[in-house]
Amino acid sequence: MTDFSRLVISWFHQNGRDLPWRQTSDPYRIWLSEVIMQQTRVAQGRKYYERFCERFPAINNLAEAHEEEVLEIWQGLGYYSRARNLHAAAKWVMEEKEGVFPDKYEEIIKMKGVGEYTAAAVSSFAFHEDQVVVDGNVLRVFSRIFGIADDIRLPKTRKQIYDYVRNHLPLGESWNYNQSIMELGALICTPSQPNCQNCPVSIFCEARRTNRQASIPFKSKSKERRKRFLNYLLFQVGDEYLFFRRGEKDIWEGLFEPFLLETDRIFSGHEISAAVEKVAPNHEFSAFSFPVEKHILSHQELFVAVWLIKTQGRPEINNGRWVHEKDLAALPKPIIFSKIMGLKKGSTLPLTF
DNA sequence: AAACCGGGGAC
DNA sequence: GTCCCAGGTTT
């Protein structure tokens, strides 16, 4: 153990947060927390962790569930492939590993949705394996400690930091050390205005010595967001609504949405009316528009218009699912629809054209 | 190596 | 508005 690792671990034991997944040694729950927390803040993820633990206390409960229920509980967390992979991995452990959670990095990383970081985290935290755990926090802490000013987005730079961390790993104590560094990044060595006054290892920090905390880590600009225009026809008959499951290789895979018309602009009322007559010919209808909402994803900018279309009798559209009003909340769907459908409906279209 | 996969909150 | 968050998979 070096002075550096001793100081960081000591700081963690005195200042670390009391998070629910730190109170268990169950590898299933540690894995669950790691997947939920991928690219997710603690404030957002912890209620999902509690919800999953309550509904699926053990890995067999998760494996036996329907994917749709897993997606339902995941609703609103984003990156929905995490939920589908989580479920698939649970089934894999039950079917291929006799229900016993793998206890080695080399096996854990074979689970769907588990990459280098998560495999290291689970093997380190649950089984005390000496693995380097490198997440966003660790990259930031060590780029500053070592004064690495290269673009943190480049794999080459990440590999360099990764190698530094591995060479400084306190063997036997790394499970403790890894958590300590991550917590230091979350509470002290923050992206903007790091709290160097209260940092236990500021005397080791190259960025602080050269007063470059604000410029390290350096990150190149991200690409501009693609704009998309989504016009939705929400067909309603009585107290039932028509939804469709989204397919592969796009946002929101596996989630449900109303009938979609994606175009290069938001449709006018007349264009919506014409579209309804094409999609549901010979059905009298009335239409109400919800306010158009802008929805920002990390790499896309969505303009979402929903029109409530009430028809007499069900239009015949392939692969649709009619959902009763009382089941709407449990339907796995992008969070934007919960928001829009809670809004007050606006203009009315003429009944017939 | 780069693109793609969400949603929320801090600034 | 910009950035980032207990990253992973696909191309």
Q: Kindly list the structural domains of chain A, giving each domain's residue range(s) and its CATH number in brackets, ordered by start.
A: 3-209 (1.10.340.30), 226-341 (3.90.79.10)
Any strand C atom closer than 7 Å to A113 CB: yes
Is residue A240 exposed (0-12), middle (13-18) or buried (19+ Cβ within 10 Å)? middle
The β-bridge relationship of strands A226-237 and A300-311 is: parallel
Select from A176, A202, A179 the least CA-distant residue to A189.
Answer: A202
- Which of A303, A309, A328 lies closest to A233 in space, CA to CA? A309
Rounded Cα gap, residues A12 and A159, in angstroms: 26
Q: What is the pLDDT of residue A223?
A: 86
**Is residue A34 annotated as a catalytic residue, yes or no?**
yes
Of the residues A34, A129, A183, A257, only one is catalytic, namely A34
- On whether the CB atoms of residues A251 and A297 are closer than 8 A, the answer is yes
At residue A350, the pLDDT reads 46
Nucleotide lying nearest to A155, CA to C1' measure: B1
Which amino acid residue lies closest to nucleotide B8, measuring CA to C1'?
Answer: A44
DSSP state of A57: S
Q: What nucleotide is nearest A38 when CA is compared to C1'? A: C7
Low-confidence ranges of chain A (pLDDT < 70): 345, 347-353
Q: Which chain C positions come under 7 Å from a protein C-beta? A: 3-9, 11
Cα torsion through A23, A126, A4, A19, rounded to 10: -20
Residue A348: the pLDDT is 66
| d(C-alpha A94, C-alpha A97), whole Å | 6
Distance, in Å, from the CA atom of A323 to the CA atom of A312, rounded to the nearest integer, reads 16
Q: Where are the alpha helices (DSSP H) in chain A?
A: 3-15, 27-36, 42-55, 59-64, 67-74, 81-96, 105-108, 116-127, 136-145, 155-167, 174-187, 206-209, 269-279, 335-341
* Nucleotide at minimal C1' distance from the A44 CA: B8
The end-to-end CA distance of chain A, in Å, is 79
Bases of strand B lying below 7 A from some protein CB:
1-11
CA of A77 vs C1' of B8, distance in Å? 9
Maximum alpha-carbon separation in chain A? 79
CA dihedral (A96, A98, A104, A109) positive or negative: positive
A 259-298, residues with C-beta < 7 Å of strand C? 298
